[in-house]
Chains A and B, each alone.
Chain A
Amino acid sequence: MADASSIANNGVNVAALVAAREELTKAPAAAQFKWRAACEWKDGTHSHSTVEGFYGLGQEQHHKRTFTFDADHPELFASEDKGATPVEYVLVGLASCLTAGIAAVAQYRNIQLRSVTATLEGDMDLQGILGIDDDVRNGFGGIKVTYKIDADAKREDIEALVAQSQKRSAVYDIVTNPTNVTVVVD
């Protein structure tokens, strides 16, 4: 634990987050955000996605630049392996969300982080997506996330960071709870 005379610096502007929370408590309409992505098929199972604009605080917003993502299937699937698989993107999403949360909570609790790494594994029985067995789901049977964290804190406090991060994680919620998905053809 950073002692009273030093302030942990994990690079998270907690003051801004706390201020935002206070503002949005008074103006819940401004808290309504929309996150977006666009995707274009390239060839085979290869597609190219972009993320640029989102909506929040009552107006359209833009990232500093357009982010791009290639997704594909591996050669084992008779594909070209031009990008990570979509399910691997989900693992990346989960890892990033939880890791950012750990940094934010650590900052808020004045815990200095030295290093945080996560390894993730999602198991999948292909009989689901290949339609071989109806009792097998398409998605992951389970996801295991293992964190290695080096920080100025007792083990109990580090575990608390990780637990709190899950509690407030968007992707963790998306993955562990049902979400309505509507797909339409224009």
Chain B
Amino acid sequence: MSRCLCERSIDHVVLERGEVAHTWRTERWDSLRLLTPNWQSRLPGVGYRGPDPDGYRTLPEVIDFITAYAQAISAPVRPHTRVTSVRRAEAGYLVRTDQGDWSCRTVVIASGAFNIACVPGVADHVPRSVTTFTTQQYRNPDQLPAGGVLVVGASSSGTQIANEIHRSGRPVTLSVGEHIRAPRMYRGKDLEWWMDAAGILDERYDQVDDIGRARRVPSLQLAGTPDRSTLDLNALTGIGVRLVGRLAGITGSGKAQFAGSLRNMCALSDLKMNRLLNLIDEWAQTNGFDGMVEPSHRLPPTVVEEAPPLALDLANGEIRTIIWATGYRPDYSWLELPVFDRKGMVRHDGGVVSSQGVYLMGVPFARRRKSTLIDGAGDDARDLSDHLALYLRRNSA
């Protein structure tokens, strides 16, 4: 967005509570890699120029990339500036920070949707003998005591962390709720390549049947595995991870209860994956790729044991750690505008917020399916800066 505003000579500042790429630096785990291939993790004007376009950036590489980009475009960043409130003022908005106040006519909220790790209410009943981490707090297996680990959540973060922890010699039980299975590679090409080529990532928010639901789906169960293997539930059960259903409750005596719907959860995920692959196959056929890529195929169904455990005693020492991989929510505690829906999310129309001159970027399916990806920032910024520029012209004093 800053680059777009610079191009239009629209005076602006970028307020950042830490250093550029703060969240990447301080709130993610050590071995994290992007789940989008390097060639796709691009920003306008700066693509990937390294030797491994099909690889996946590590955390330090992401930090370097974003920091370099900020410098390359000479973005007017004010680091170590925490916004404490945004509210309406006479000529627009008053933005208060711990470094002083700003008056402005427009505001772009680019603080993302992954500020606060969600922890289920049942966490209150976890026995004190069990250590807990959110994915925001987790860094690597060495933080954890020896012994069994319960990972709650089987989307991208949960599966990666479960894999890493189980391989560290700590037996993992993985609680599986709704998840979106996807192969890393399909017919010889990266899944993200297909999603990009077939226009799936460019799908607009106003072209989708139920945008509310589309914005609430969990992340694709994909990982940036260096060997490009698919890290799905079958891969995890293959190394000995035990699957249980969604965490439904924890009793007062520390017994975790799991839903008996694991089989259907996995069936639903397999069906969704196959629908996506059908879409890809149709596109491939229509666009003449059939002879050029490997033939169509399907992954084996997710294997679920006959009678998955419905309970786990958290108090008997078998489980020493719980990892909450149960998603994130945005922190809008500083946003003092009447723009929220009844679930606390910002009301917007493709990133144009219901308060004039306010814009929202980087939240799931904000404007396009790729809005939360690095690659999605460019197109969204272009569209929204158009709108912002027009707004400023129409409302100049």
Contact = CB atoms under 8 A, between A and B. Distances in A.
Interface of A: 28, 141-142, 156, 159-160, 163-164, 166-167, 172-173, 175-178
Contacts of B271: 156, 159-160, 163
Interface in B249-271: 249, 257, 259-261, 264, 267-268, 271
Contacts of A177: 248-249, 259-261
Contact of B264 (A156, A163, A178): A163
Given A141-B307, A142-B307, A176 B267 contact: no
Interface residues of B, number: 14
B248 A166 contact: no
Contacts of B58: none
Nearest to B248: A177
B88 to A, nearest CB: 27
A183 to B, nearest CB: 18
A142 B310 CA distance: 11
B267 A159 contact: yes
A161 B264 CA distance: 12
Of B245, B267, B307, most A-chain CB atoms within 10 Å = B267
Contacts of A175: 260
Contacts of A163: 264, 267-268, 271
Contacts of B261: 166, 172-173, 176-177
A146 B38 CA distance: 46
Contacts of A172: 261, 264
Determine chain A's interface SS by DSSP, over half rule: helix
A75 to B, nearest CB: 31
Contacts of A141: 307
Interface of B: 245, 248-249, 257, 259-261, 264, 267-268, 271, 274, 307, 342
Contacts of A167: 264, 268
9 interchain residue pairs of minimum CB distance:
A176-B260, A176-B261, A166-B264, A177-B248, A178-B249, A163-B267, A163-B268, A160-B271, A176-B259
Contacts of A28: 342
26 contacts: A142-B307, A156-B274, A159-B271, A160-B271, A163-B264, A163-B267, A163-B268, A163-B271, A164-B268, A166-B264, A167-B268, A172-B261, A172-B264, A173-B261, A175-B260, A176-B245, A176-B259, A176-B260, A176-B261, A177-B248, A177-B249, A177-B259, A177-B260, A177-B261, A178-B248, A178-B257
Contacts of B267: 159, 163
Contacts, number: 33
Contacts of B268: 163-164, 167
A167 B262 CA distance: 11
Of A156, A164, A177, most B-chain CB atoms within 10 Å = A177
Contacts of B249: 177-178
A9 B124 CA distance: 49
A164 B264 CA distance: 9
A167 B266 CA distance: 11
A156 B278 CA distance: 11
A167 B213 CA distance: 14
Contacts of B248: 177-178
A175 B245 CA distance: 13
A177 to B, nearest CB: 5
A121 to B, nearest CB: 14
Contacts of B260: 175-177
A160 B259 CA distance: 20
A104 to B, nearest CB: 16
B377 to A, nearest CB: 31
Given A28-B342, A163-B264, A177-B260, 14 more contacts: A142-B307, A156-B274, A159-B267, A163-B271, A164-B268, A166-B264, A175-B260, A176-B259, A176-B260, A176-B261, A177-B248, A177-B249, A177-B261, A178-B257
B273 to A, nearest CB: 12
Of A28, A159, A166, A176, most B-chain CB atoms within 10 Å = A176
B316 to A, nearest CB: 15
A160 B270 CA distance: 10
Nearest to B264: A166
B254 to A, nearest CB: 15
A89 B146 CA distance: 47
A84 to B, nearest CB: 23
B186 to A, nearest CB: 17
A156 B267 CA distance: 11
B125 to A, nearest CB: 12
Contacts of B257: 178
Nearest to A173: B261
A176 B260 CA distance: 4
A173 B248 CA distance: 11
Contacts of A142: 307
A156 B298 CA distance: 12
B112 to A, nearest CB: 27
A151 to B, nearest CB: 16
Nearest to A140: B260
B199 to A, nearest CB: 23
A67 B381 CA distance: 60
Nearest to B298: A156
